[in-house]
Amino acid sequence: MEEKAAPPQPILIQAGTDAEPETVKAEPQNAVSTAARTSAMGGVSLEAIDHYRLTLSTKPNIVGLLVLGVLLLFVVPLTLLEDVFYDDDAAGFCCFSIITGIVLFLVASTKDNAWRKEVKLAKARVINEVGLKAPAVSKTPLLAAGGFLLASVFAGNILLTYGGLVSAALFIAAAISLVVFLAKDSEANKIVERNFQAVLNQVEEEG
């Protein structure tokens, strides 16, 4: 008996099993810990901003030192003022109190100055990275002040008649010129300060 040939089996073409790798989304980095991320305000790094804010928040508490210094330097000596001329112990304690008060004032001043210096350096770092610059201030008023002052010195010696009056007028002109220069310089620094605060505010809003 002839065996019937089995019907041809359909050939199944299976789709490839290699799945495309899923795109891994990077986790957003913390703005505080990312030094490379920059602000749109000219490229200041957030590390510099954070360093400035941290330095600003670490102001030393010197109130206690100042209060104790005032007590030892002024209050205690005034209390013992009547006894220091007759009692050696009181005089010695009064001197010790004054010296200790001065030392406390020096310690408080050293701490405060060190903190202010750190804040200034941190602020300068931010300003340099942003590229903030004060508007150019003309030196003409300053040069005029020097010229008027020099002229006022010689006017009194050269001019015999009304020399003092001319000298006084030139001195006043020198003072006015100096005030004008200082006012313009102060305004330029205020512009930098306003722009600096604008940078801090924008970075805070972006964060």
Q: Is position 22 within any domain?
A: no
HSE value, Cβ hemisphere, 13 Å, CA-based, for 173: 16
Work out the number of other CB atoms within 10 angstroms of the CB of residue 97.
Answer: 19
What confidence score (pLDDT) does residue 116 get? 96
Range(s) of the domain holding residue 53: 38-131
Q: Residue 101: which pLDDT band, with cuts at 50, 70 and 90? A: very high
Q: Is position 102 within any domain?
A: yes
Q: How many domains does the chain have?
A: 2
Q: Is position 29 within any domain?
A: no
The residue from 112, 131, 150 where one domain ends is 131
Q: Residue 36: which pLDDT band, with cuts at 50, 70 and 90? A: very low
What confidence score (pLDDT) does residue 153 get? 85
> Is there a single domain that holds both residue 72 and residue 102?
yes
Q: Average pLDDT of 50-55?
A: 92
> Is there a single domain that holds both residue 125 and residue 60?
yes
Q: Per-residue pLDDT tens for 148-193?
A: 999 888 877 776 677 788 888 999 999 999 999 999 999 999 999 9
The dihedrals phi and psi of 38, each to the nearest 5 degrees, come to -125, 160
Rounded distance, CA 42 to CA 55, Å? 22
Quote the DSSP letter at residue 71: I
What confidence score (pLDDT) does residue 26 get? 38
- 45 forms beta bridges with 38
Quote the DSSP letter at residue 34: -
Amino acid found at 8: P
Q: Average pLDDT of 9-36?
A: 40
Q: Is position 11 within any domain?
A: no
